[in-house]
Amino acid sequence: MAAVLRERIRVVLADDHPVVRDGLAAIVNQQDDMEVVGEAGDGEEAITLYEQHRPDVMVLVLRMPRRDGVAVVQRVLEINPKANILIMTTYDGDEDIFQCLSQGAKGYLLKDAPRQEILSAIRAVSEDRPYTSSTVAAKALQRMAKPSLTQRELDVLQLVAEGRSNKDIARRLSITEGTAKTHVKAILTKLDAISRTEAVAVAHKRGLIHL
């Protein structure tokens, strides 16, 4: 068996794509100062592996089957409030990033980041220093300027995106059609869209909804 080396950064990876997982593992294991101690293919597994290994850094992809990134961040921070979590995402517009950010993940980067940036991010997060790629930081600033949707509006938006009519939305949310219209109107105004279909397109681009 391999001898345990001291002072290495112990990493747990979570991504539903084996290619990416294998890739990240290869990159990390090539470094002298870090090693992968666990690889998860979904959210549940990620949590289990975190508890098992208590790694120095958890690298987490946002969108995964069975519990997405946001839920995993929540749960892991419940287990260990000092957990060092690095979030990766494919989609630069992904709204969920900001949810993770406000919840206490320490680093955020995009999947199209170069190898060196990923390693820097892991090292930074392992030392409890925050790491945010400039791309994500820029998005954060952009986002500040734009009006945010309320929870209820997000509920309505989700149903609109599924192609539901106002009447149908009203039924599902136990409100009147008029109220549904009020919410839709607010959504259109906030997203600067003329029609519900355009609103869906805009919302999807901003990562507010996942079709």
Partner DNA sequence: TCGGCACTCCCTCTTAAGATAGAGTCCCTG
Partner DNA sequence: CAGGGACTCTATCTTAAGAGGGAGTGCCGA
- Binding segment toward a second copy, per CB under 8 A, in 48-56, 76-84, 131-139, 163-171: 163-171
When asked if residue 211 is in the footprint of a second copy (CB under 8 A), the reply is yes
Residue type for position 180: A
Write the interaction track for a second copy spanning residues 10-29; mark x where CB under 8 A is met and - where it is not.
Answer: ------xxxxxxxxx-xx--
DSSP strands (E only) in 48-203: 57-61, 85-89, 107-110, 131-132
Sheet strands side by side (includes 85-89): 34-40, 9-14, 57-61, 85-89, 107-110, 131-132
- Written as six digits, the tokens of 82 are 């000092």
- Of residues 114, 134, 141, 145, which one binds a second copy by CB under 8 A? 114
Binding site for DNA (CB under 7 A): 150-153, 165-167, 173, 175-176, 178-179, 181-185, 188, 194-197
**128 vs 162, beta carbon nearer DNA:** 162
- Of residues 52, 80, 90, 150, which one binds a second copy by CB under 8 A? 90
CA distance 211 to 206: 12
CA distance 114 to 174: 48
**77 vs 154, beta carbon nearer a second copy:** 154
- Written as six digits, the tokens of 126 are 């392992």
Contact 98, 70 (CB under 8 A): no
Name the binder of 152 from DNA, a second copy, none, CB < 5-8 A by kind.
DNA
Name the binder of 161 from a second copy, DNA, none, CB < 5-8 A by kind.
a second copy
When asked if residue 5 is in the footprint of a second copy (CB under 8 A), the reply is no
When asked if residue 204 is in the footprint of a second copy (CB under 8 A), the reply is yes
Among candidates 78, 49, 65, 58, which has minimal Cα distance to 9? Answer: 58
Q: Which residues does residue 60 pair with via DSSP β-bridges, in sequence order?
A: 14, 87
What residues line the site for a second copy (CB under 8 A)?
A: 16-24, 26-27, 88, 90, 111-115, 118, 160-165, 193-202, 204-205, 211
